[in-house]
Chains A and B, each alone.
Chain A
């Protein structure tokens, strides 16, 4: 990314930073803790491709929620990083309940 011809230099976002950002966004949208969400980055015809693996918060329509989350993650990551996100692939591994462990 450059600030135009008047601004010398270039801003580079490392793949690691992009991954952390996408992971946080995905965890937020899925309603799962960020620790359990894994994100892989790839390239889809010049656009960013996200590969999200993680659990989703319990809901009535899980598939609908996941689809909506995919679209939301796509838009949000695109807005935050300034990169075009081409495809978002979500792989659900489980369900996160509101309170998993008993409070002692």
Chain B
């Protein structure tokens, strides 16, 4: 990892998605609702006609709903529940983007995760002795999965492939070499 705190922060900001958009939207909605309630209260205190609905009648309607209002209330409730779930998920998930930090002695280096996957696929194809097109890999966080389609008649040593991939990824950062999964396809291809 990078040494200084600013570099750590930079790479963290690059790897994780910002939550500012969701926060802004939620706050704007909150401000609008609060402003509306405030306006209605002031209008009622002054004694003039309400803007949209009198808060007291709105609460009464919500507490003692008639049949027509019940469906509207249900729809609103469902929409609010969905919005709430979306917000909770946005807040709790790490919001990782397809980038990975790589330690470097100068500055914060962040690379696309596809580069890690391609590196793993390349190492696997060299170790297994198959053409580059026969291997594919996907990487997420610090775990990498490599798929190898063997060439017919040439056995693929799964543990050797895993060792090679772990070694190559370990050169980027020791975190990437730890969780490597290798899958060798049952069926091979001719050359």
CA distance in complex: A5, B127 (Å): 8
Asked if B141 lies at the interface with its beta carbon under 8 angstroms from chain A, I say: no
CA distance in complex: A75, B150 (Å): 21
CA distance in complex: A64, B156 (Å): 34
Question: What are the residues of chain B within 8 A of A83 when measuring CB–CB?
Answer: 151-154
Are A85 and B129 in contact (CB-based, < 8 A)? no
Question: What are the residues of chain B within 8 A of A49 when measuring CB–CB?
Answer: 152
Are A47 and B191 in contact (CB-based, < 8 A)? no
> Can you list, as one digit per residue, whether each of A58-102 has a CB less than 8 Å from chain B (1) or not (0)?
000000000000000000001001111110000000000000000
Asked if B126 lies at the interface with its beta carbon under 8 angstroms from chain A, I say: yes
Asked if A103 lies at the interface with its beta carbon under 8 angstroms from chain B, I say: no
CB contact between B191 and one of A15, A46, A78, A85 (< 8 Å): that residue:
A15
Are A43 and B154 in contact (CB-based, < 8 A)? no
How many A residues touch the partner, as a band?
20 to 34
> Which residues of B146-191 have CB atoms within 8 Å of chain A's CB atoms?
150-156, 184, 186-191
Are A46 and B129 in contact (CB-based, < 8 A)? no
CB contact between B190 and one of A1, A43, A82, A85 (< 8 Å): that residue:
A43
CA distance in complex: A1, B126 (Å): 9
Are B152 and A13 in contact (CB-based, < 8 A)? no
Using known A-B contacts A48-B153, A83-B152, A85-B153, determine if residue A43 contacts B131 with beta carbons closer than 8 Å.
Answer: no
Contact surface of B with A, Cβ cutoff 8 Å: 126, 129, 131, 150-156, 184, 186-191
Q: List 25 A-B contacts (CB under 8 A).
A: A1-B129, A2-B126, A2-B129, A5-B126, A10-B129, A12-B131, A15-B190, A18-B190, A42-B152, A43-B152, A43-B187, A43-B188, A43-B190, A45-B186, A45-B187, A46-B186, A47-B152, A47-B153, A48-B190, A49-B152, A81-B153, A83-B154, A84-B153, A84-B155, A86-B153
Q: List 15 extra interface pairs beyond A14-B191, A46-B156, CB under 8 A.
A: A1-B129, A2-B126, A10-B131, A12-B131, A13-B191, A15-B191, A41-B152, A43-B189, A46-B187, A82-B153, A82-B154, A83-B153, A83-B154, A84-B153, A84-B155
